[in-house]
Amino acid sequence: MDSYLIERLGHMGDGIARGPVFAPLTLPGETVTGRLEGDRLHEVKIVTPAPERVAAPCRHFRTCGGCALQHAAPEFIAGWKAGVVRQALAAQGIEGEIAAVHTSPERSRRRATLSARRTKKGALAGFHARGSDVVVEIPDCHLLAPGLMAALPVAEALAVAGGSRKGEISVQATLSPGGLDIAVTGGKPMDGPLQVELAQLAEGLGLARLAWDGEVVAMRHAPEQVFGRAKVTPPPGAFLQATADGEARLLAEVSTLTQGKSRVVDLFAGSGTFTLPLADDAEVHAVEGEAEMLRALDRGWRNAPGLKRVSTEARDLFRRPLLAEELSRFDAAVIDPPRAGAASQIAELARSGVPVIAHVSCNPVTFARDAAVLIGAGYAMGPVIVVDQFRWSPHVELVAGFSLTSA
């Protein structure tokens, strides 16, 4: 077999040799051999390992597709993720300071989407195998919090009850103080007998809430999430930061950036991750496309004593961004868009004159594009904090502040 020198990691965490040739589970500086099919190397063998190579802590790593980088030392992964952000900024002509990389600890994921499939003998649940739709069981997963591991037998039971032998169900599981919050998609259509069976399962398994294709089947306890002083029951399947540790780090930075500001707008507010803690000290206007999430946020605010005024607005910020004139009444803005970014909303922020913008992002490429627009409009970008909630994955999240330096 031919040998290849791995020169760098690609955006999905695969090693890349000249060609390009993609080699999974390899690191820069390693010499490897393998069987080449197209541009991808199979049956990879490490001839010369990199100093950064370590033994994967999880016994499922070789087969499970949930992690991509367990073979790399934590310091290497942190440096690589900082480099991904630095490279994205450089592509826009920006020299940015990467101030820190904060990595959530092992076994801290409080939400995950599991795959479950019926089998002849029952069911199996876990993550997909690497590059495959085969479901791999993960009884010793090093990602999921101990409480979330209980979702594995739950997913199996739900697959037996409402899954098809020809397909799989997707089970989004979230930890809450009241128990597991489960939202299933891809199962059989709901009918009377299935509804009864699922409700019985929810009771027997001690679930806080069970939703089936968006319809709540049972709610034994409100699956509340705590945002600052407020307790919020998000709608089934609603977005939540992946780890409590990562959320706390993002919130700490957003709070610091907006400190002393009395009128804050929170764009893509979700169910109130930032809105409600910030309402300790500021009036906050929360804008979000999903009205149900805002209703949950509003109920949480109304039941939390001592918070300043919070207003909500259901609005599609992609099609109808808040205009510069609407934004100008605020002295700080928080924006946490989805991976595609929010080019139209950033353009309006750039024209608004809002003194401070706290930008949270899960995509360094769209963040860098946004940063270029804001810098071009007279904003100065502060240090970038990389927050690695998706440990051992190529996923990169970050937060940075922008302050207006010129009119």
Catalytic residues: 362
Q: Give the residue from 284, 172, 274 showing the smallest Cα distance to 232.
A: 274
Q: Tell the residue number behind the tokens 């009377």, with chain if given.
A: 192
Q: What angle do CA 43, 48, 49 make, to 5 degrees?
A: 85
3-state secondary structure of 114: strand
CB atoms within 10 A of CB 322: 21
Q: Which two tokens stand for residue 407?
A: 């009119």
Q: Tell the residue number behind the tokens 């002509």, with chain if given.
A: 93
Distances (CA, A) of 112 to 77, 94, 149, 327: 21, 34, 10, 35
Q: Which two tokens stand for residue 122?
A: 């029952």
Burial (CB < 10 A; 0-12, 13-18, 19+), residue 129, is middle
Distances (CA, A) of 126 to 79, 250, 290: 30, 29, 29
Q: Which two tokens stand for residue 169?
A: 């169900």
Beta pairing class for 31-37 and 40-48: antiparallel
Q: Is the dihedral of CA 25, 27, 32, 34 positive or negative?
A: positive
Give one DSSP letter per residue of 239-286, joined into a string.
---S-HHHHHHHHHHHHHHTTT-SEEEEET-TTTTTHHHHTTTSEEEE
